[in-house]
Amino acid sequence: MAFRQQTRRVFLGQTTAGAAALAAQTSTSAAVTPTTSGILKRPGAEIYYETTGSGPAIVFAHGLGGSHLSWWQQVPYFCSHYTCVTFAHRGFAPSRLEAGVNDPALFAEDLATLIDHLKLAEVRLVAQSMGGWTCLDYTLRHPDRVRALVMAATGGTTDLKTLETPDRKRDCPLVRGK
């Protein structure tokens, strides 16, 4: 099959027509789900978040180059059956640092406070890249509240020494060393 070159004008015209058709199909077949937003005050930071939809909660944690907007394709897909929560990590716009340096060690604490603030009994976590640090650490600290953990393009990271409590040693194979 030979590759056929197109002019930029033809390509943009086709792309625009395709996008318009998709927008028309989406607007007639899907209802708009309202999104609410808020700011969570934390020591040294303000954490921006949005919630969309209703049902069991999915919390999306973005990577280093992203923000709460990184999930623009996932939220519309899942919000008809789930409460979708997106947030911007401290230091990532529109969240703000009030003072000091952005410390990733505080990300999981921020997430825990957000989950408590939203009164979510259990969550499904979806983590991309840097968001894996946040979600893995949260999951290891609160395994009873995490229904599922999806790690995408991340190795996650955590300091297992900070998890060494008597009940954690008994219940967590990563800390037990088995």
Top pLDDT among 137 and 17 is at 137
Alpha-carbon gap, residue 143 to 59, rounded angstroms: 15
Residue 26 pLDDT greater than 80, yes or no = no
Distances (CA, A) of 134 to 2, 73, 97, 146: 47, 21, 17, 13
Kindly tell me the sign of the dihedral angle through the C-alpha atoms of 1, 18, 69, 57: negative
Domains and CATH numbers, the chain: 35-176 (3.40.50.1820)
Q: 49-67 in b/e burial notation, b at 16+ Cβ within 10 A?
A: bbbbbeebbbbbbbbeebb
Q: What is the pLDDT of residue 27?
A: 46
| Residue percentage of the chain with pLDDT more than 70 | 71
Q: What is the pLDDT of residue 156?
A: 74
Alpha-carbon gap, residue 135 to 156, rounded angstroms: 8
pTM exceeding 0.75: no
Q: What is the pLDDT of residue 101?
A: 74
Lowest mean pLDDT among 13-27, 72-86, 149-163: 13-27
Q: What is the pLDDT of residue 29?
A: 44
Q: Region 77-85: what's the mean pLDDT?
A: 97
